[in-house]
């Protein structure tokens, strides 16, 4: 228990944050404030106890913290639900990654080994994403989709996406080194990063809603990830991401591709 230091206290007031209480066999999280009741002569008449149930907020923060940096989750909780969930169009940077030769891995590992491998791999990769302020959008089998720029934008979201991809590659080498020493199979993956217009919001049916992003910007990122196999590389970024970068990275232009909805071919670059 800790006192709330954000607001000045009245004399004799006590505040306890995030306390676990039990009511009828159910445990709830609550903030408790104890205030003195004083009469006209300033005599003590007793105490007033106020209990604020924060269980749902705590559950939501816990859930969101699995997908994004806890600081970002805090900021999201402070925003109006309509502002975040209602749907908005913005520029964002989308990252897709996908494990190579996954079918071969699953055949040699079996069901339990496959789940263990994915959990180990995803744990490392998600830390790279949230470390750059990105949001894990979803896991798609052995693939990862992550967003930089929504629900909150930074002025360097393309750089954050590229830095996350580079860090994912570096940390995969470290993970593989440990796996090989333990007599386990190494993991390889490819990544695609694109910057463009995306639509974000709570999308789904009344029974199952997910905060996610859609649009051509997302589709191109997925296509670039898939193209890694074709070009024998591990990180491909689009010219839209390349031109938006503030820092300098080791890159080389590898091709121009035709993109749905565009009349001119789009240049694609390998990040070395």
CATH of the domain at 86: 3.30.70.1230
Q: Is the pTM of this model over 0.75?
A: no
**80 lies in the same domain as 36:** no
Query: What does the pLDDT read at residue 58?
Result: 57
Query: What pLDDT shows up at residue 69?
Result: 55
pLDDT in tens, 153-203: 889 999 999 999 999 999 999 999 998 999 888 899 999 999 999 888 777
Q: Say whether both 138 and 42 belong to one domain.
A: no
Total structural domains within the chain? 2
- Is 221 inside a domain boundary? yes
Indicate whether 42 and 171 sit together in one domain: no
Query: Tokens 């080194």, residue?
Result: 177
User: What is the tens place of the pLDDT at every residue in 196-239?
Assistant: 998 887 777 777 767 778 888 899 999 999 899 989 999 999 99
Q: Do 179 and 142 sit in the same domain of this protein?
A: yes
Q: Do 269 and 236 meet the contact criterion of CB atoms below 8 Å apart?
A: yes
> Residue 146 corresponds to which tokens in the numbers above?
């992550």
Domain that holds residue 259: 70-271
Same domain, 31 and 114: no
For every residue of 128-187, DSSP letters joined together read: HHHHTT-EEEEEETTEEEEEESSSS--TTHHHHHHHHHHHHHHHHHHHHHHHHHTTPPP-
122 within some domain: yes
Report helix, strand or coil for 202: strand
Residues 20 and 97 in one domain: no
Q: Are residues 121 and 217 part of one domain?
A: yes
């Amino acid at each position: 228990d800790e006192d709330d230091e954000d607001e000045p206290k009245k004399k004799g007031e006590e505040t306890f944050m995030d306390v676990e209480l039990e009511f009828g066999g159910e445990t709830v999280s609550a903030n408790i404030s104890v205030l003195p009741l004083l009469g006209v002569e300033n005599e003590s008449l007793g105490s007033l106890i106020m209990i604020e149930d924060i269980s749902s907020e705590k559950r939501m923060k816990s859930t969101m913290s699995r997908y994004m940096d806890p600081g970002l989750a805090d900021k999201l909780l402070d925003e109006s639900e309509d502002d975040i969930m209602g749907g908005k169009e913005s520029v964002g940077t989308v990252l897709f990654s996908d494990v190579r030769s996954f079918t071969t891995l699953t055949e040699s590992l079996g069901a339990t080994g496959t789940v263990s491998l994915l959990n180990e791999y995803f744990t490392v990769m998600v830390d790279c994403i949230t470390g750059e302020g990105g949001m894990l959008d979803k896991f798609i089998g052995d693939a990862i989709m992550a967003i930089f720029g929504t629900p909150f934008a930074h002025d360097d979201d393309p750089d954050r996406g590229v830095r996350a991809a580079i860090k994912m590659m570096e940390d995969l080498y470290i993970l593989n080194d440990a796996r090989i020493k333990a007599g386990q199979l190494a993991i390889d993956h490819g990544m695609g990063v694109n910057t463009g217009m995306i639509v974000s919001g709570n999308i789904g049916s009344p029974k199952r809603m997910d905060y996610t992003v859609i649009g051509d910007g997302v589709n191109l990122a997925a296509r670039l990830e898939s193209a890694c196999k074709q070009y024998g590389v591990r990180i491909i970024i689009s010219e839209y991401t390349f031109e938006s970068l503030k820092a300098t990275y080791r890159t080389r232009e590898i091709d121009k591709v035709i993109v749905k909805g565009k009349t001119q071919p789009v240049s694609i670059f390998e990040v070395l």
